[in-house]
Amino acid sequence: MSAEVGFDSSVLSPFARARRLDVLEQLTRGRRRVVTRAVLDEIERGRTLHPALGEVAALSWLEPVPVDSLDELVAFTAYLRILGSDARNVGESSILAWAEVRSGIALVDDQAAVNAAKARHVMTRRSLSLLCDGLRTKIMTIAQARSLVDELVAAGSRFPCDGAGFEAWADLNGLLS
């Protein structure tokens, strides 16, 4: 996976709240990693309840990018129409628009956003698939992945499995081979 990746708050926030941004950095190392202002704003709004979110804005490996070209604004508007324009969907819409126009990969865990991206032929990846990448590349062991899944769930991720069920889930979905 060498394309540029753009982060949504649905991925960044749980890693930050679990204080595991170091693992997220390792899992995406070797590629350009970006975040939009709208995603950073969403994370900043959650900082009052979860002070660990403040670490996201200080990450040296995460590059803030604008979503302001005409093509990006057109795509952004299309995603807002699909997902809704409430504050919760603006970040997702911005990172999906960025990924669409830049042929990047949107790292997003929200099912509605993944469905919208698929409909517009935009590549997405989810947190659990990043962990599977980490297993295949030996960045982490299965025990570390199981533990991290439980930490991310405790930090707010809504996954289809817990740590104990992660390997079976990944195997069932063909993500470990």
Kindly list the domain boundaries of the chain, sorted by start residue: 5-125, 128-172
DSSP element (H, E) containing 33: strand 33-36
Q: What's the average model confidence in pLDDT over 146-173? A: 95
**Per-residue model confidence as pLDDT tens digits over 7-27:** 999 999 999 999 999 999 999
How far is Cα 46 from Cα 170, in angstroms, rounded to an integer? Answer: 30
Residue 164, burial from CB neighbour count under 10 angstroms (0-12, 13-18, 19+): exposed
CATH pick for 5-125 out of 3.40.50.1010, 3.60.15.10, 3.40.50.300, 3.40.1160.10: 3.40.50.1010
Most distant CA atoms of the chain, gap in Å: 46
Q: What's the average model confidence in pLDDT over 143-157? A: 96
